[in-house]
Amino acid sequence: MSKKILINEAADMVKDGMTLMIGGFLAVGSANKIIEKIADKGVKDLTVICNDASYPDKGIGLLIAKGCVKKCIASYIGSNPIAGDMMNSGEIEMELVPQGTLAERVRCGGVGLGGFLTKTGIGTLVEQGKQKIKVNDEEFLLELPLHADVALIGASLCDKHGNIIYNGTSQNFNPLMAMAADVVIAEVKDEVEEMKSETIHTPFMFVDYIVKA
């Protein structure tokens, strides 16, 4: 059965109050066309898990600028002044997470782990409200897994089964996020009939729907 759907069908799967994972690094590797449709719909109260806040006119930044997001969990927002202003004014809740910690929290959500221990953030604002655990007399923070209702990932190539390849750095968070959401929607640029198994980055079983951008 084909996994292909129309871009409007993909956008309609995102409802008010959902938690989204959005792959990409400054909109490279993001499902930008689907995100534009979601922003146009005016969906509200989203929690978005992403690497960064992108720019005000593209990717996750567009959702923030249009008031669709109530909370953002990210490692960097400096490229989006609107996100910074909204954080400072209290219009959006911003949880800033070290990039490696963010990736590992997503991975934990995808593979069913209850969390992981890290020294990153010890003695900084990052440790506030988090459980500390001693191992061999060293303190670690317990970082909890992240999971989403929907993951939007941007891919370079897919085949008829839904296997996916990402070119270059567009891979970034996408393979991890494709394992950590109830529904995974991939926006792809090109498609082929078949792929060699050794070239596949995200296997078809993790991909629910494909949108040809």
- With respect to residue 44, please indicate whether it lies within any of the assigned structural domains: yes
- With respect to residue 120, please indicate whether it lies within any of the assigned structural domains: no
- With respect to residue 87, please indicate whether it lies within any of the assigned structural domains: yes
Write out residues in the chain with pLDDT < 50, as ranges.
Answer: none
Number of domains in the chain: 1
- With respect to residue 97, please indicate whether it lies within any of the assigned structural domains: yes
Residue 188, domain extent:
7-114+145-212
Give the pLDDT confidence score for residue 156 in this predicted structure: 96
- With respect to residue 198, please indicate whether it lies within any of the assigned structural domains: yes
Rounded to two decimals, what is the model's pTM? 0.94
Instruction: Give 104-133 pLDDT, tens digit per residue.
Output: 999 999 999 999 999 999 999 999 999 999
- For the stretch 32-36, contacts whose Cβ atoms lie closer than 8 Å and that sit 24 or more positions apart, written own/partner, are 32/58, 32/59, 32/154, 32/187, 32/213, 33/7, 33/187, 33/211, 33/213, 34/7, 34/10, 34/152, 34/185, 34/187, 34/211, 34/213, 35/59, 35/60, 35/62, 35/63, 35/152, 36/62
- With respect to residue 183, please indicate whether it lies within any of the assigned structural domains: yes
Give the pLDDT confidence score for residue 71 in this predicted structure: 98
| Cβ neighbours around 181 below 10 Å, total | 25
Q: What is the CATH number of the domain that holds 31?
A: 3.40.1080.10
- With respect to residue 140, please indicate whether it lies within any of the assigned structural domains: no
